[in-house]
Structure 1
Amino acid sequence: MKKIFHLILILIMTTFCLTPISLADGGLFTQLYRDIYEPNQLAMIIFDDMVEKIIFQIDYEGDAEDFAWVIPVPGYPKLFSVEDDIFYELHKLTQPPPPSNFGCGWGAGIPFPGLEDEGVHVWEENPVGIYHTTTLSASDPNSLVGWLNDNGYAFPVEGQEILDYYVQKNWFFVAMKIQSDEIVNNSEYYTGAIQPIGIMFFSDEMVYPLKISTLSAPSWGTEVLIYTFSDERVTFPGATEEYNAIINPDQLKEYPILQGLIDETFVLTKLRKNFSAEEMDEDLILLPVPKYIALGNIIDLNSPVGQFVLIVGIFVILLKIKKRNA
């Protein structure tokens, strides 16, 4: 019995001690692929004092002239360009160890009156990065679908119900197309992730506009990866939390893009979920994680501390079994 006990203990210790070594060589590339190339939608959200900044990046394959993207937001949006490598910086920042500042001002303040076009209000048009953007609001989803199609967005008629969902909530819409003079890799054909864009707006809650993605969701699902910076650790139903930590500006010296966006201490949470089309019937509301979460969600068994706790627990159980059989 003593030999069996010692053999089991050695096996457990060997398994947990060798696991980090076996992952150290190929694990980094695998995780980079999962964070940068695998998700269909990448987002970073900064939520502070009812101001939300959300940075989007999506996959697109096709001709630049065919690209069209519509994002609904609950408050009047201020758009800003974002450098391509921001999600690579977030990937590096959220790995377990080891194996131009944008303010909160709206610039011009109150938006100009814009143009009314039979139920559609065009507030402003601006170039932002590679995109030509139009900020809209609407009082009638029929008119909004008509405006989008008349302006080259090829919006499906079946999407009218989804637009009505946002129209009834008095949300704004940001419509984007790639500017005709923009060329990527000397080609007008895009494949993979395209340039991120940032949108800032007032909001009572941290929100990710997911419902509109139902219109383009593939049958095999849509993977969404969201990084949030807020006062508390947050989550949404069905999300897998892959990282959480308190981050202050001094920790971002090696991350120049993030350093230009983060100027105070936040809790960074990294959340991932693969959504079926049926699960995308509502926007995501990200809420604080309850204080009474289970111990299993607190201890990360992939971390040295988590593995140590698990080994000690197993050792205690085996010791009790040994004493019982003595």
Structure 2
Amino acid sequence: MKRRILVLLFALLATQVGSLVNPAWACGCGAMIPEGYARIGVEKETSVVRWDGRTEQIVMRFVVRGDAPRAAWIMPVPGRATVELADGAMFGELSRMTEPQERTRHYFWPRERDWPFSSGSRDGMVGDAPAAGAPSVGVVGREQLGDFDVARLTATDPDALRTWLESNGFKLPDGLATELKPYVDQKWEYVAVRLAPRQQGKKLQGTLDPLKIRFDSDRLVYPMRLSRMAKTPQSLGLYVLADHRMEPGSPIGGSAPKVTFAGTVTAKGAPLAELTGGKPVFLTAIDQEFPEPDRIDGDHELRATAKDTPYRRTVYHDELLTVGDGVPVWLLTVSAALVALAAVFTVRRGRRRRTSPDRA
């Protein structure tokens, strides 16, 4: 018995040590890498994507958890990119634009919580290329943006980023070089970001400041391939601003993308109006879950739908149909029916008495 307990304790200890030696890390549309033995994970990735047919702008915001004081993040991009801090207020404006509309739905007969059974009401929800001979790694720009140290890199082989990461104190996760190869073959470039809070002792937790990445692209692409290395389920939210309603070409290994809003909007707040140029645009809000990230097999390529069909979720509040001071219609109807039946019965009974012969 004692031996079994010792074996069990040793197994638990080995599991905990293993989690430190191989720290858990997750990634959004890029790779999120903690420093040393620290841990970091992306719980939610929300992005605003603006595409006008020539230029794509991505404003990304991560909600992270873990104990890492510093981390690195890598995102492949199809062209030369610029990076700057963004105003997170645009996410609040978009959330208000896309919130469900509320409708009241009446029902006739009382339900479980209505009189005479009980009281109250129940609500329900119904949702309907580097030149030959160039170095393998090229730094084309580097900026300090708040707590972010941003480097824009070119690379000519799958291992090009390893040198940059290791020289900055980060260990490249096993397999990342392999996942980068398709981007190298397409001559994509990279945005590499060091997340290092300037406040001493501060951990990378909660909602991070958003970053805006801008690059030229004749197609709307949202890089997702590196997310296949995540060790935990991933959640993606996209606000797509374009000339038409947009949809992913495929689920790329995740659950079916869900459209939560589609319609023409005009931005009123400064950060969002700056992104749209103050002009009406078609907004498509898309949510998607990736329960098994290792099944992700490519990047999201979004295309215009056949029609710009608007859509908005509806939340129905079910209420008992009443009149006046809250008198249930069913009660009035039943009462009227009973009165009518009583009247008919009285009339028929009177007729029978008048027509029946007198008894001797």
TM-score by length of 1: 0.67
User: Aligned-pair distance for 1:164?
Assistant: 1.2
1:47-75 alpha-carbon deviations (Å, 9 max, x no partner): 01310000111222245543110011001
Which residue matches 1:54? Answer: 58
User: Aligned-pair distance for 1:130?
Assistant: 2.3
CA contact (8 A) 1:39 1:224 kept: no
Which residue matches 1:244? Answer: 262
1:252-309 alpha-carbon deviations (Å, 9 max, x no partner): 33x2321222212210000011012134220100111234x9xxx87767378xxxxx
Which residue matches 1:24? Answer: none
User: 2: distance between equivalents of 1:173 and 1:160?
Assistant: 13
CA RMSD of aligned residues (A): 2.6
Which residue matches 1:286? Answer: 302
Could you tell me which of 253, 269, 273 is aligned with 2:284?
A: 269
SS of alignment partner, residue 56 of structure 1: strand
**Using a 3 Å threshold, how does the CA distance of structure 1 residues 86 and 39 change in structure 2: closer, same or farther?**
farther
- What aligned pairs does 1:158-197 form with structure 2 within 5 A after superposition? 158-181=175-198, 183=199, 188-197=202-211
Greater C-alpha radius of gyration: 2
Which residue matches 2:152? Answer: 135
Which residue matches 1:123? Answer: 140
Which residue matches 1:203? Answer: 217
CA contact (8 A) 2:75 2:223 kept: yes
CA contact (8 A) 1:83 1:257 kept: yes
User: Aligned-pair distance for 1:86?
Assistant: 2.5
SS of alignment partner, residue 159 of structure 2: helix
Which residue matches 2:93? Answer: 89
- Asked if 1:69 is matched to 2:73, the reply is yes
Which residue matches 1:311? Answer: none
CA contact (8 A) 1:230 1:266 kept: yes
User: 1: distance between equivalents of 2:224 and 2:137?
Assistant: 22
User: 2: distance between equivalents of 1:47 and 1:124?
Assistant: 23
User: Aligned-pair distance for 1:178?
Assistant: 2.2
User: Aligned-pair distance for 1:85?
Assistant: 2.8
User: 2: distance between equivalents of 1:225 and 1:247?
Assistant: 18
User: Aligned-pair distance for 1:241?
Assistant: 0.3
User: Aligned-pair distance for 1:239?
Assistant: 1.1
SS of alignment partner, residue 160 of structure 1: helix
CA contact (8 A) 1:125 1:133 kept: yes
SS of alignment partner, residue 227 of structure 2: helix
CA contact (8 A) 1:64 1:178 kept: no
User: Aligned-pair distance for 1:97?
Assistant: 4.0
User: 2: distance between equivalents of 1:268 and 1:217?
Assistant: 31
CA contact (8 A) 1:39 1:225 kept: no
The residue type equivalent to 2:261 in the other structure is Y
User: 2: distance between equivalents of 1:85 and 1:235?
Assistant: 25
Could you tell me which of 217, 221, 224 is aligned with 2:236?
A: 224
The residue type equivalent to 1:265 in the other structure is P
Which residue matches 1:213? Answer: 227
Identity %: 25
More strand per residue: 1 or 2?
2
More helix per residue: 1 or 2?
1
User: 2: distance between equivalents of 1:148 and 1:190?
Assistant: 18
**Using a 3 Å threshold, how does the CA distance of structure 1 residues 299 and 51 change in structure 2: closer, same or farther?**
closer
User: 1: distance between equivalents of 2:74 and 2:172?
Assistant: 9
CA contact (8 A) 2:43 2:64 kept: no
User: 1: distance between equivalents of 2:43 and 2:97?
Assistant: 18
User: Aligned-pair distance for 1:195?
Assistant: 0.9
SS of alignment partner, residue 157 of structure 1: coil
Size of the aligned set, in residue pairs, is 239
User: 2: distance between equivalents of 1:61 and 1:298?
Assistant: 36
User: 1: distance between equivalents of 2:65 and 2:189?
Assistant: 26
- Mark the runs of 5 or more structure 2 residues left unpaired by the alignment: 1-41, 104-129, 251-255, 317-360
**Using a 3 Å threshold, how does the CA distance of structure 1 residues 77 and 298 change in structure 2: closer, same or farther?**
closer
